């Protein structure tokens, strides 16, 4: 009855169909399902890893914060560093839906329902045991389920956070769900910058309006005035950072284009104060923070833009705030590992989605990725069909230029990937 009530309340019919589908296959052997009995014991749940997902490698910026955060005392749980990473005992399972990225482009082609289905499928993968080996012909069932899901993707948070939370409630499993957008808004509040706010994100995230809305609410509840907010949605920058061959120009070239468009959008607000706070509203963008900052410096050489852009910008990366929220949520639910406990896995695990080249009907481009027209023309509701499969991620699966960014700017993640 509770599941039926959720179905009637849900705004996404196809996300609701996934809830029913997973409930109808509680042993987790079917595609897009999970073993519903995994969370019966609180002690077993506490030993589970934490799941983190994104549409590609961008969410690794959030994982870097999770691996390195030292904002709390691990014994007292009170704010304040103690010299030990806050999640030192925890283990993480990272999933990047590389085959279906970038998520931000689906709303622009009226495929929001399919996007929302993808997002719930991501959560189901983390909850389940099912995955594929790189060369395997049949799925395997040895991946552990998770005790928390971190949506390390701004577009996925904007379009799927409530769907996942409702699904978890309908399945009656004690799994924590944390998203990055609220954390980003808190980052704006904590920055205490006085100028205007610019949001750089994917087209889908900007189309949702989630950042201006959430920033306005967060500042308002804190009794702060709300400065002018402009946003710029890019269909290209995340793909360029990923090394997608569909975006052949340099990351710097795309960053300059998006910075210019954001500056012009901010000009349209007619605000007196210059643009000062830049929200990196896509988890890929912190990997290109240097290129984005350099782009604004380049724009200030134009006399027509110099007074529009602050000489020194404040960049808000929601990753650290997301890590802080996860710590608090795990502590509140008493799901942090105790000092004498160990996670069910010894090492962090990483997975990527890749096209199923052997599946009938799957259309590929010359480089072996999903054909762009095929990717963005798919309809939801085909819950017995997989055109992608989730396989263990190794460094060689990451495009070379993206691997370089991860190696240089996310050292804790790179170390874990190479174990």
Rounded to an integer, the average pLDDT of 179-191 is 91
Q: Compute the mean pLDDT over every residue in the chain, rounded to the nearest whole number.
A: 92
Instruction: Answer whether residue 7 shows pLDDT above 60.
Output: no
Structure tokens belonging to residue 180: 């990055």
Q: What is the CATH number of the domain that holds 368?
A: 3.40.50.1860
Same domain, 151 and 26: yes
**302 lies in which domain range?**
182-317
Q: What ranges make up the beta strands (E) of 252-338?
A: 275-280, 309-316
Same domain, 167 and 196: no
Q: Is the pLDDT of residue 44 over 50?
A: yes
Query: By mean pLDDT, which of 11-25, 101-115, 264-278, 349-363 is the weakest?
Result: 11-25
Is the pTM higher than 0.95?
A: no
368, 411: one domain = yes
In angstroms, the CA 57 to CA 40 distance is 32
Report residue 2's pLDDT band, with 50, 70 and 90 as the boundaries.
very low
pLDDT in tens, 85-122: 999 999 999 999 999 988 888 988 999 999 999 999 99
Last residue of a domain, one of 317, 342, 370: 317
Q: What is the per-residue pLDDT for 146?
A: 98
> 294: how many CB neighbours lie within 10 A of its CB?
15
Quick one: tokens of 19? 């809830």
Count other Cβ atoms within 10 Å, centred on residue 17: 18
Mean pLDDT of the 23-42 span = 95
Same-domain status, 101 and 156: yes
Domain limit, last residue, from 259, 290, 317 = 317
168/194 same-domain check: no
Q: What is the pLDDT of residue 12?
A: 58
Cα 109 to its chain centre, rounded Å, is 21
Rounded-to-integer distance, Cα 374 and Cα 148, Å: 33
Of all residues in the chain, what percent carry a pLDDT higher than 70? 97
More confident residue, 109 or 192: 109
Listed residues 261, 290, 317: the one ending a domain: 317
Name the percent of the chain lying above pLDDT 90: 77
For residues 160 and 48, membership in a common domain is answered with yes
């Amino acid at each position: 009855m509770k599941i039926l009530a959720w179905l009637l309340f849900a705004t996404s019919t196809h996300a609701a169909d996934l809830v029913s589908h997973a409930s109808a296959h509680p042993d987790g052997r079917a595609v897009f399902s999970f073993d519903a009995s995994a969370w019966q014991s609180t002690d077993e749940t506490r030993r589970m890893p934490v799941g983190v997902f994104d549409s590609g490698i961008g969410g690794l910026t959030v994982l870097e914060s999770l691996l390195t955060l030292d904002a709390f005392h691990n014994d007292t749980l009170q704010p304040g560093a103690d010299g030990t990473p806050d999640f030192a005992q925890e283990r993480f399972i990272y999933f990047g839906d590389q085959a279906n990225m970038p998520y931000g482009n689906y709303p622009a082609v009226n495929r929001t329902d399919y996007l929302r289905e993808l997002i719930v499928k991501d959560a189901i993968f983390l909850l389940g045991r099912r995955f594929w080996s790189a060369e395997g012909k049949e799925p395997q069932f040895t991946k552990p389920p998770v005790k928390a899901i971190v949506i390390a993707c701004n577009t996925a948070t904007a379009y799927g956070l409530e769907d996942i939370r409702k699904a978890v409630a309908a399945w009656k499993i004690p799994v924590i769900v944390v998203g990055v957008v609220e954390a980003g808004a808190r980052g704006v509040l904590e920055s205490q910058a006085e100028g205007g706010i610019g949001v750089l994100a994917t087209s889908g995230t900007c189309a949702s309006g989630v950042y201006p809305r959430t920033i306005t609410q967060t500042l308002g509840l804190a009794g702060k005035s709300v400065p002018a907010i402009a946003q710029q949605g890019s269909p290209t920058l995340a793909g360029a950072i990923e090394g997608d061959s569909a975006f052949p120009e340099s990351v710097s070239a795309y960053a300059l284009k998006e910075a210019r468009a954001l500056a012009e959008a901010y000009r349209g607000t007619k605000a007196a104060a210059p643009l000062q706070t830049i929200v990196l509203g896509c988890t890929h963008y912190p990997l290109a923070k240097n290129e984005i900052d350099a782009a604004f410096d380049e724009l200030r050489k134009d006399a027509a833009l110099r007074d529009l852009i602050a000489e020194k910008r404040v960049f808000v990366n929601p990753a650290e705030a997301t890590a802080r929220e996860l710590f608090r949520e795990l502590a509140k639910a008493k799901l942090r590992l105790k000092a004498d406990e160990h996670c069910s896995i010894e090492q962090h695990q990483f997975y990527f989605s890749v096209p199923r080249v052997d599946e009938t009907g799957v259309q590929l481009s010359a480089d072996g990725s999903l054909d762009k027209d095929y990717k963005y023309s798919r309809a939801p509701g085909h819950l017995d069909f997989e055109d992608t499969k989730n396989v263990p991620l190794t460094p060689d699966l990451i495009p070379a230029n993206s691997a370089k960014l991860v190696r240089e700017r996310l050292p804790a993640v790179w170390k874990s990937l190479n174990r």
